[in-house]
């Protein structure tokens, strides 16, 4: 079961949370109970394959709404690529989350969500057309588009900020066609996100069955827990108490890691590594949350001035700032520092970072200066090719482009420009 963070009286099933996206009061859903994994899980932890591990971690949030056999099938389809952990520096490992179809960490959540929705549509005779609406700063839209492509009974509408995504990210958003529509918004990601949220409380859209595929949706957010269990299993022989650095924009990924810890995963400390959009680093210094105007940076996926998922983090810690501060450190890094991080790690180990992974690497490096005995993992959330110009300019070298990306370059882009919510509303009503 899931509760509205704005109204604890509203509780819904996993299926309801999946299809509604947001609570009726526009609040996020959150698990009624975070269950600690039992002794049997940890006794068998080393023996479990990745699919069994994932099933045991996720089943408590599905509450038998999807039968075991079907949930296993969904998990197999979701985790059909590798998640390697690579040593790149002294006591520093990169957890590579970019080996999926769109080469970004969002693939897991998008594939899981689409497979769950497909299960309910096919097995519970849902006759009404569903519209999945999603705001993206780059990677989410591509992953959702790929995950929901040609899913029967589902249309996908993607909002992305004009001129604020990379060239390859835009190709992933705009070239699939079929049941995927891309809307180019005149503004920043925060504007896109606010427009998405507004659709759910618009009475004129009540007849439309809308849901969100952003990390505000529990089915997109919760599967990210698995990254942290995989990292821990990969590195348990080195140090059971890990320090994890997460490139943070909307804070869904970091929040998933913190949820994993609440379930019993022994992560010692978290680092939120941000760009100049430093709402959370400022909060961690002052204890006062102030959303700010979004700043455009090279790490565009983190260009978020008011991260939606931070309220979930505060809820995890019962709004206890002192308790949160013991387990979370937050740093910000400029574009210049990020580029320098890409250069220096390549010079040291020949490892090529994307800008977001570089930010996480820098955060981990900074933390370990005062904690040299810790073993650290940073999340490398996207393949460097997704930010080709930035990486090639930083390293003064050409990056090999994967075949699936080369295929995209041959396709025509299809997009619709919009400036405000009314244009979005009219688009949805016309469908």
Catalytic residues: 106
Q: How far apart are CA 224 and CA 316, in angstroms?
A: 16
**CA dist 47 to 77, 100, 120, 261, 409, Å?**
21, 25, 31, 21, 43
**Burial environment of residue 350 by CB neighbours within 10 A (0 to 12, 13 to 18, 19 or more):** exposed
Q: How far apart are CA 403 and CA 191, in angstroms?
A: 34
| Residue 359 C-alpha from the chain's centroid | 16
Q: 115, 77 in Cβ contact below 8 A?
A: yes
- Rg of the chain taking only CA atoms, in angstroms: 20
Q: How far apart are CA 189 and CA 55, in angstroms?
A: 33
Cα torsion 59, 60, 63, 64: sign: positive
Max intra-chain CA distance, the chain: 59
Q: How far apart are CA 212 and CA 102, in angstroms?
A: 19
For strand 92-96 and strand 85-89, is the pairing parallel, antiparallel, or unpaired? antiparallel
Q: 126, 153 in Cβ contact below 8 A?
A: yes
Q: How far apart are CA 191 and CA 175, in angstroms?
A: 23
**CA dist 43 to 46, 47, 59, Å?**
8, 9, 18
- Which long-range contacts (C-beta less than 8 Å, at least 24 apart) are formed by 49-55? 50/79, 50/83, 50/230, 51/75, 51/76, 51/79, 53/226, 53/229, 53/230, 53/233, 54/78, 54/79, 54/223, 54/226, 54/229
Residue partners of 263: CB distance under 8 A and separation at least 6: 34, 35, 36, 37, 57, 225
């Amino acid at each position: 079961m899931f509760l509205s963070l704005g109204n604890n009286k509203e509780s819904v099933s996993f299926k309801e949370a999946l299809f509604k996206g947001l609570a009726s009061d526009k609040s996020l859903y959150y698990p009624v109970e975070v269950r600690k994994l039992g002794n049997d899980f940890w006794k068998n932890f080393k023996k479990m394959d990745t699919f069994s591990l994932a099933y045991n971690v996720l089943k408590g949030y599905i509450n038998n709404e999807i039968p075991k056999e079907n949930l296993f099938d969904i998990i197999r389809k979701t985790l059909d690529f590798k998640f390697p952990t690579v040593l790149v520096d002294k006591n520093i490992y990169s957890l590579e989350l970019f080996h999926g179809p769109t080469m970004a960490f969002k693939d897991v959540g998008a594939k899981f969500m689409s497979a769950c929705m497909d299960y309910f549509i096919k097995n519970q005779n849902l006759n009404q057309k569903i519209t999945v609406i999603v705001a993206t700063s780059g990677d989410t839209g591509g992953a959702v588009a790929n995950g929901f492509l040609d899913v029967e009974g589902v249309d996908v509408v993607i909002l992305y900020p004009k001129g604020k995504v990379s060239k390859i990210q835009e190709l992933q958003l705009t070239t699939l066609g079929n049941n995927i529509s891309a809307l180019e918004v005149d503004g920043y990601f925060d504007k896109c996100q606010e427009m998405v949220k507004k659709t759910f409380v618009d009475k004129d859209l009540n007849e439309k069955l809308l849901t969100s595929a952003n990390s505000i949706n529990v089915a997109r957010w919760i599967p990210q827990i698995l990254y942290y269990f995989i990292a821990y299993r990969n590195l348990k022989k080195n140090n059971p108490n890990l320090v994890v650095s997460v490139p943070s924009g909307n804070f869904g990924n970091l929040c998933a890691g913190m949820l994993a810890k609440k379930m019993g995963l022994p992560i010692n400390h978290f680092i939120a590594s941000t760009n100049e959009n430093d709402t959370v680093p400022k909060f961690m210094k002052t204890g006062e949350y102030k959303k700010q105007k979004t700043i455009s940076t090279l790490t565009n996926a983190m260009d978020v001035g008011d991260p939606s998922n931070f309220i979930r983090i505060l809820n995890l810690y019962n709004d206890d700032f002192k308790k949160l501060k013991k387990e979370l450190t937050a740093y910000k890094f400029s574009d210049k520092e990020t580029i320098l991080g890409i250069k220096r790690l390549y010079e040291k180990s020949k490892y090529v970072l994307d800008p977001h992974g570089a930010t996480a690497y820098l955060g981990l490096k900074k933390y370990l200066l005062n904690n040299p005995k810790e073993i650290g993992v940073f999340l490398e959330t996207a393949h460097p090719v997704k930010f080709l110009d930035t990486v090639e300019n930083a390293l003064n070298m050409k990056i090999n482009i994967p075949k699936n990306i080369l295929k995209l370059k041959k396709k025509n882009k299809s997009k619709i420009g919009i400036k405000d919510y009314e244009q979005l509303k009219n688009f949805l009503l016309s469908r």
